[in-house]
Amino acid sequence: MSTKHTAKCECSQLQRHRCKFQPVLPAILQKGPAFVKPKFGKATKSVADQAAVKRIFPNTYGLPEITFVKGANSAVAKKAVRVGVVLSGGQAPGGHNVIGGLLDGLKKANPKNKLFGFLGGPSGIVENKWVEITPALMKDYRNTGGFDLIQSGRTKIETDEQLKAAKDNLIANKMDALVVVGGDDSNTNACVIAEYLKQQGVDISVIGVPKTIDGDLKNKQIETSFGFDTATKIYAELVGNICRDVNSARKYWHFIRLMGRSASHITLEVAFKTHPNAVLIGEEVLAKKMTLGQIVDNLAQLIAKRAKAGKNYGVVLVPEGLIEFIPEMKELISALNDSLADNEAELSKMNTVAEKKAFILSKLPAKLADLMRSLPEGIASQLMLDRDPHGNVQVSLIETEKLLVEMIRTKLAEMKKAGKYNGKFAAITHFFGYEGRCGVPSTFDANYTYALGYNAAVLALNKCSGYLSSVRKLTKKAQDWECGGIPLTMMMNIERRKGKEKPVIKKALVELKGEPFKHLAKNRDLWAVEDLYVFPGPIQYFGPAEITDMTTYTLLLEQGKKVK
């Protein structure tokens, strides 16, 4: 069912200028899809649990990697094709440019090719809601933030009815391909759809595009997901401003929780850009098996040390997923996940959180029930909130920064009594998450997303189903980036979700042996006591390349480049 596009787009001055920005395409794509050929590598394996992943994806498992090389490929331009695109999961800067690149790639191959945007995320495919994306409609959305052109959603297409409805609608709309722009869970779902269509003998390709501000959809082949660059620049501007405020007023401790789901990549990157006094990294907490009490003690010691030097102020960064990595909390969350999934029907009949909590407490082992009772009321209730459709705890809604401040306050009072602390502790808490997801894409993200979309068009035209659009060598100039496709099954392993073992794309967590974490470990003691704050300021869209084209420290460090 076609829907009239009603969203009105009021242009700011910046947007008016930014709309004119022409992203730089990698040289390999510049002449268009008819001059690019796929070069197939060796058959691939999933990162873990090979037998189980192969059993679930018999038709899409083991595909070879693809690299695009120069070569005449006029076959892709012969027949006009119809491609659908869907934005899935949380917003990330650059989504509109993926659609722009896809549209331009398709039109370059054959002006009669058509692109359709499914509305409101994957539910738009099941409910058959779409709009045709014409060049005229696309015009005002180029290089803009947000997903408002077709919106997003978190529906997971998994039941037989949903899969059948998706298939029927794709066939009814005479689609040749579907492009799913999403994170690890959405791209896992893209692979489920690709597999289902192959099993059903339906010749419609499904291609994924790596999106997420969290930066956790990456591996050897996918160097970063789009949106991470812009979102971390926006958070760094905000954190940098707070550092400057702290340095000016010298009277508050700011506890800042940053989005990023389980992984701490965003927190790490923002720390590189701003040099706060303390940075918690969830993955380190897990590796060192640190309890909540130890985390609080360490922070209280730092606060006391700075107070001794007359510094009753500071900035602490907290990743939103921290809570999932504290061993005792991890155990509690995992038991809660299972218990909430096992008792879904009964819980749905209860009206209040208190009622649900009492019921769940009766199902938990005594040790975990005691831990749950010891938590502040707000946090305990937040841990009970519904999981998202992919089974993830909604960590963005758990106010860990407030929990830490409350516990630190108690600890400092004890230390004061014991004569071990004599400072003032005035704390302010913040959560930066939604502020960074729809920002105007940085030049890096504008170029990267446009290339990912254009590259997805080339994959679709070559009928490469079950692949993730891959643009590599990202620390080089955009024209030198390499393009191709990575089999989705190659990134999968089996994880426990909603009480069941499920195939999912493996989340990339912060590697403690990786260069980014080592860089933090080398510098953080100095940042803790000295006030070496950096104030990065806003993203620059115009001006010298060294400030407009700057990429992330994470990417530079991961690729062995030197950073200051």
Q: Are the C-beta atoms of residues 90 and 184 closer than 8 Å to each other? A: no
Give min distance, CB of 358 to ligand FBP, in A: 27
Is there a binding annotation on residue 261?
yes
Q: Which is nearer to ligand FBP, 191 or 304 (CB)?
A: 191
Q: 82-88 and 177-182 as β-strands: parallel, antiparallel, unpaired?
A: parallel
Give min distance, CB of 73 to ligand FBP, in A: 33
Is there a binding annotation on residue 196?
no
Nearest CA to 90 out of 217, 252, 222 is that of: 217
Give min distance, CB of 90 to ligand FBP, in A: 3
Give min distance, CB of 176 to ligand FBP, in A: 26
Is there a binding annotation on residue 377?
no
Tokens read off for 460: 């679709």
Give min distance, CB of 156 to ligand FBP, in A: 11
Is there a binding annotation on residue 419?
no
Tokens read off for 13: 């001055």
Q: What are the catalytic residues? A: 214
Q: Which is nearer to ligand FBP, 180 or 296 (CB)?
A: 180
Q: Which is nearer to ligand FBP, 154 or 496 (CB)?
A: 154
Is there a binding annotation on residue 213?
yes
DSSP 298-331: HHHHHHHHHHHTT---EEEEEETTHHHHSHHHHH
Q: Which is nearer to ligand FBP, 245 or 388 (CB)?
A: 388
DSSP 67-87: EEEE---THHHHS--EEEEEE
Q: Give SS3 for 228.
A: helix
- Give the chain's radius of gyration (CA, Å): 24
Q: Longest C-alpha distance within the chain, in Å?
A: 81
Is there a binding annotation on residue 203?
no
Q: Are the C-beta atoms of residues 423 and 312 closer than 8 Å to each other? A: yes
Is there a binding annotation on residue 244?
no
| Strand ranges, E, within 197-304 | 205-210, 253-258, 278-279
CB-hemisphere CA count at 13 Å for 302?
24
Is there a binding annotation on residue 260?
yes
546: CB partners within 8 A, 6+ apart: none
Q: Which is nearer to ligand FBP, 187 or 205 (CB)?
A: 187
210: CB partners within 8 A, 6+ apart: 183, 187, 217, 218, 222, 224, 225, 226, 452, 468, 469, 470
Q: Are the C-beta atoms of residues 188 and 93 closer than 8 Å to each other? A: no
Q: Which is nearer to ligand FBP, 107 or 265 (CB)?
A: 265
Rounded to whole angstroms, the Cα distance separating 52 from 55 reads 5
Give min distance, CB of 259 to ligand FBP, in A: 4
Residues of this chain that interact with ligand FBP (CB under 6 A) are 89-90, 92, 154, 183, 212-214, 259-261, 320, 395-396, 437
Q: Which is nearer to ligand FBP, 212 or 429 (CB)?
A: 212
Q: Cα 219 from chain centroid? A: 14
Is there a binding annotation on residue 409?
no
Q: 482-487 and 467-472 as β-strands: parallel, antiparallel, unpaired?
A: antiparallel
Q: Are the C-beta atoms of residues 403 and 379 closer than 8 Å to each other? A: yes
Give min distance, CB of 527 to ligand FBP, in A: 24
Binding region: 90, 184, 212-214, 251-252, 259-261, 320, 434-437
Binding region for Mg(2+): 184
Binding region for diphosphate: 90
